[in-house]
Amino acid sequence: MRRTGRDTGAAKAISVRDSGGRGEPSRRQAASKPGPARPPEAGLSPGLYLVATPIGNLGDVTLRALAVLRGVDRIFCEDTRVTARLLARYDIAAPLDLYHDHNAERARPAILAALRRGERMALVSDAGTPLICDPGYKLVQAAVSENLPVTAIPGPSAALTALILSGLPPDAFLVAGFLPPRREARRRALERWPALEASLVFFEGASRLVECLGDMAELLGNRPAAVARELTKLHEEIRRGRLADLAAHYQDAGPPRGEVVIVIGPPEPPAPDHATVDARLRAALAELGVRDATAQVAAETGLPRRELYRRALAIRRETE
């Protein structure tokens, strides 16, 4: 998870996002007698492999990712020191080379030339799924434009991990990546999304967390949110609450340690005024009992049933 640069794509998708190599065996193949044993990487097809790597806990790497990393001719990464730790843990000796924001323009032609020769190349980020706020978008775009094979090896993602731990609606979401570090530019970016009917996922540096949460509360509304840090690590923490309350907490507690993901719930519908609610209840009570009328109005307004039930009882007594 890194701040975007020249070679990164716009890491935004409203909704969630395997194929590759030789594909999964058919039922007939799976049921047939296995052939001679061979290394899992044998027969790896030529092409570019986008391999997701752990976001913290090295045990989260997939078996398929390990097989691909063993089988490729070269692995391109953001920082050889970071990726070397993963490879050493699993005794993988594939050559490493750099592909990051600062050398992408020079490295991309060589990678494409290797793909044209039928070589097998892997692209990894320091942590998580490549291209999501990490280098690689232009490389994939160029490979696709030449009909060179590109395969994704799915796995860990800080954005999805934080989303499903947040307790906020995951059915529609926007991964907006890093916001601009300067306040004026950050506020302009936030102004694009106040009406979007989706949960919002942002990456942020710990030192700017308080200021960022405050801007979010002001420009998006004081919505339910969650701050996730140190995901999959020993000190993983998910703090949930309203944006203003989270800002106040970190203002008092100080910046947290580790990388941070902020998840914000979708816009909340405005609560109907009391007169409107009473009118809905009276109309429902004209045809239904108190319990059924309460359930109907709760479904229409999203208001708590207990509060509506008490009000329905009061209205029924007034009319008796």
Residues 175-206: tens digit of each pLDDT: 999 999 999 999 999 999 999 999 999 999 99
| 24-45 tens-digit pLDDT | 333 333 333 333 333 445 579 9
**Short-list 54, 139, 63, 73, CA closest to 105:** 139
Query: How far is residue 181's CA from residue 172's CA, in Å, rounded to a whole number?
Result: 26
For tokens 């307004």, what's the residue?
A: 301
For tokens 């519908």, what's the residue?
A: 269
101 three-class SS: coil
Phi, psi of 221 (to 5 degrees): 95, 155
C-alpha pair distances (Å), 30 with each of 26, 34, 197: 6, 8, 44
Query: How far is residue 134's CA from residue 50's CA, in Å, rounded to a whole number?
Result: 12
> What's the token pair of residue 72?
């490729």
CA 123 to chain centre: 19
Position 258 confidence tier, pLDDT thresholds 50, 70, 90: confident
C-alpha pair distances (Å), 23 with each of 17, 18, 233: 18, 8, 32
Query: How far is residue 318's CA from residue 299's CA, in Å, rounded to a whole number?
Result: 24
Position 305 confidence tier, pLDDT thresholds 50, 70, 90: confident
**217, pLDDT greater than 70:** yes
Position 133 confidence tier, pLDDT thresholds 50, 70, 90: confident
- For residue 75, give the H/E element and its range: strand 74-77
Query: How far is residue 301's CA from residue 139's CA, in Å, rounded to a whole number?
Result: 48
